[in-house]
Every structure is written in C-alpha cells, then in structure tokens.
Amino acid sequence: MMRQESEKHAETWVFTKNGKPIYIRPLRPTDNVLIDDLFRSLSPRSIFFRFLRHWKTVPPELTEFLMKIDSKLNVAMVALEKRQSGERVLGLCGILRKPGSEKGEFAVVVRDEWQGIGVGAKLIEASLPMARDLGMKELWGLVSPENTVMIETARKLKFTVGRDRESGFYEMEMHFGGTKTFRFHGSANFSEECYERS
C-alpha cells in the first residue's frame, strides 16, 4: 500500500543532545516486533509513568492495539536507532483521537537508557504537526505528579500544565486554535477504554 504523502513528509533525521542520529517516522503496521521490544525494555517506573498502571510488563494486547490504529485519524510516531543489524525503537508518541471529535489524547515513552538526551522532546515536536494536520484541535494528556521530567517537557513544548485537585494528577493541554477546553472521562491512552474504541 502506498504511504500517504503526509506520512512521508513526517519522516526526519534528528540528533540527540549527545550527537547520536535518530530517525523519526510514523509507526507502520509491520512494526509489531520493534514495539514489543520497546515495551519489554521498559522499567516498572517507565511503565507506570507511561500507562499509569502498576504493571510489571506491558500487556501484549497493547502492541496489537497499536498496530491497528487508523493513521488517517490518529497519530503514532516512533523514534528509531538505525543499526547495521536492524532498527530499534527508542521512543513512541501516540495521539489518539477521542472518537468522532477533534480532540486527541497524548502520551509518550522513551526507552529507559535513552531518556534525558532529547529523544522525547524531539518525538513530541514531530508528532504535534501530524495531529494538527489530521484536524485535531485540542490535545490532552495525564501525568503522574512525580513525573517531573514529563511535566517539565510539556511546559517547554508550550502545553498548559495544571494539577487536578481531585485526583492529584497533572493534566497537559494544548490548543491548536480557538479557546475551547475539553476533558476525557478516562485515563492514559491505551487504557481499557481504548480497547473498546478499536
């Protein structure tokens, strides 16, 4: 199948802070082995920060779910290390559309040993225009209050970040135009609700 023009334009080389080249591109339906490998590499801390669940491992159904995401409606971008032996996914950013709306739920994860060198920020920066190009107008994400790195990253990328008094979690919001706000009645994306959506 021909890849969409917008997807081809989204592919780019960038450099980490320590000068390593990484390739950012949309997730492909054939990336399941690479995504499984990313998920298997994550520490419990990263799993919790990403999924807001105290899982020891990421359920394999999540990879299956990701592979079925409709790229005409949702954004899924990966950062890759390209080696002679093959590719390795270093990070994944998902912006899933709330069904039938112009609102997207955003979440990102970077392989533990690659955190803190610019991969997350670059991946999010590459994903935001994709969401806008797909017609999303508002983005929302939920962050654990202990996740100071994500809170700081979101602020630097011009998300509005505020603490929800009831839950204690932080919420990140971005509007591509207009001033409307929205709120999901769910938690981090790839949750059980997302299974229902797929």
Ligand X SMILES: CC(C)(COP(=O)(O)OP(=O)(O)OC[C@H]1O[C@@H](n2cnc3c(N)ncnc32)[C@H](O)[C@@H]1OP(=O)(O)O)[C@@H](O)C(=O)NCCC(=O)NCCS
147 near ligand X, judged by CB under 6 A: yes
Q: Of the ranges 64-72, 80-88, 95-103, 105-113, which one interacts with ligand X (CB under 6 A)?
A: 105-113
Q: Of the ranges 54-62, 69-77, 117-125, 160-168, which one interacts with ligand X (CB under 6 A)?
A: 117-125
120 near ligand X, judged by CB under 6 A: yes
Q: Cα–Cα distance between 135 and 130 in angstroms, integer?
A: 9
Q: Cα–Cα distance between 97 and 164 in angstroms, integer?
A: 22
121 near ligand X, judged by CB under 6 A: yes
**Residue with the closest Cβ to ligand X?**
120
Taking residue 181's Cβ as centre, other Cβ atoms within 10 Å add up to: 12
Question: Which of 49, 140, 170, 190 touches ligand X (CB under 6 A)?
Answer: 49
Taking residue 64's Cβ as centre, other Cβ atoms within 10 Å add up to: 14
Residue type at position 114: W
110 near ligand X, judged by CB under 6 A: yes
DSSP 8-state secondary structure symbol assigned to residue 139: E
Asked if 79 contacts 119 with a C-beta cutoff of 8 angstroms, the reply is yes
Q: Cα–Cα distance between 126 and 55 in angstroms, integer?
A: 28
191 near ligand X, judged by CB under 6 A: no
Q: Cα–Cα distance between 134 and 73 in angstroms, integer?
A: 6
Q: Of the ranges 2-10, 26-34, 56-64, 143-151, which one interacts with ligand X (CB under 6 A)?
A: 143-151
141 near ligand X, judged by CB under 6 A: yes
Of 29 and 44, which CB lies nearer to ligand X in the complex structure?
Answer: 44
Q: Would you call 84 helix, strand, or coil by DSSP?
A: coil
Interacting residues with ligand X (CB under 6 A): 46, 49-50, 107-110, 115-121, 141, 143, 147, 149-150, 152-153, 156
